[in-house]
């Protein structure tokens, strides 16, 4: 009888000890558009929603971000702490999705995932990076303009433009506010004889650091000839 009573009491004692439960107030955050050298931080709130002490044992961050436990790692029932996530945009242009694994002694969900998104913008964005002059005849003088748009409110300054062995192309730049326009002119009669199409590259060297060089591709084609783009 005593053994049977003990067998009943042990499970009851274990149940009375309760279980920890990790509760995250949010699991995803969007930083939105940020600059190429930005370092941004967000704090996620973590709580113990169980009825036994909870211990956060580890934070595993994906490449490009770091994570830190702010405050205590062991939480009594009802207590909260913060998990700080930091993202360094340098070297991560374009859309980014990153994640952090939160490892705890929650018996039901020992690993939970935090995530965030960010779109890393260049300081300078060409509206287009490729210009086409199609259906050319020898009398043609074609013009086009490409806008370099400032994304930071800082003025764009063009130091020089590299265009070698392309006497049929003229290049000039003009400033409008913080932006720059690159004006192109192609003189068809100066194109290489017998060549049906071609691709030229202009390298614009800027005083701005991000990026310091912008490349534009100029594709041209004589009338009645198919244009085969050069390998990138």
Lowest mean pLDDT among 28-37, 81-90, 176-185, 222-231: 222-231
With residue 179 as reference, give the H or E element that holds it.
strand 179-187
Residue 217 has pLDDT above 70, yes or no: yes
Which stretches within 18-177 are classed as H helix?
A: none
Name residue 47's beta-bridge partners: 23, 80
What's residue 64's pLDDT? 76
Query: Beta 111-120 vs 28-34: how paired, if at all?
Result: parallel
Cα–Cα dist 50/16, whole Å: 12
Convert the pLDDT of each residue in 15-71 to its tens digit.
Answer: 456 999 999 999 999 999 888 778 999 999 999 999 999 999 999 998 778 888 888
| Entry pTM | 0.56
Mean pLDDT value of segment 123-150 = 86
Residue 93: pLDDT band (50, 70, 90) is confident
Q: Is there a contact between 67 and 84 (Cβ–Cβ < 8 Å)?
A: yes
What's residue 15's pLDDT? 45
Q: Is there a contact between 57 and 106 (Cβ–Cβ < 8 Å)?
A: no
Tokens of 199: 């691709």
Residue 1 has pLDDT above 50, yes or no: no
Residue ranges and CATH numbers for the domains of the chain are 18-120 (2.60.40.10), 124-222 (2.60.40.10)
Convert the pLDDT of each residue in 141-184 to its tens digit.
Answer: 999 999 888 877 788 888 988 887 899 999 999 999 988 999 99
What's residue 91's pLDDT? 79
Helix, strand, coil abundance in the chain, percent, nearest 5 = 10, 55, 35
């Amino acid at each position: 009888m005593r053994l049977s009573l003990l067998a009943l009491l042990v499970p009851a004692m274990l149940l009375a000890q309760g279980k920890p439960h990790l509760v995250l107030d949010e699991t995803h955050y969007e930083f939105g558009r940020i600059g190429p050298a930005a370092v941004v931080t967000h704090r996620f709130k973590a709580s113990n929603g169980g009825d036994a002490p909870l211990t956060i044992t580890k934070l595993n961050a994906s490449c490009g971000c770091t994570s830190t436990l702010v405050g205590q790692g062991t939480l009594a029932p009802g207590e909260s702490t913060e998990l700080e996530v930091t993202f360094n945009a340098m070297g991560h242009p374009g859309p980014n999705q990153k994640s952090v694994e939160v490892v705890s002694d929650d018996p039901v969900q020992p690993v939970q995932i935090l995530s965030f998104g960010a779109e890393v913008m260049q300081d300078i964005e060409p509206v287009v990076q490729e210009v086409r002059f199609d259906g050319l005849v020898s009398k043609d003088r074609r013009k086009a303009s490409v806008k370099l748009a400032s994304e930071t409110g800082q003025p764009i300054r063009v130091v020089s433009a590299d265009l070698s062995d392309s006497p049929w192309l003229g290049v000039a730049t003009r400033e409008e506010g913080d932006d720059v326009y690159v004006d192109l002119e192609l003189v068809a009669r100066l194109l290489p004889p017998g060549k049906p199409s071609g691709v030229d590259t202009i390298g614009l060297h800027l005083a701005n650091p991000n990026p310091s060089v912008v490349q534009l591709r100029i594709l041209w084609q004589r009338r009645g000839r198919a244009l085969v783009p050069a390998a990138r």
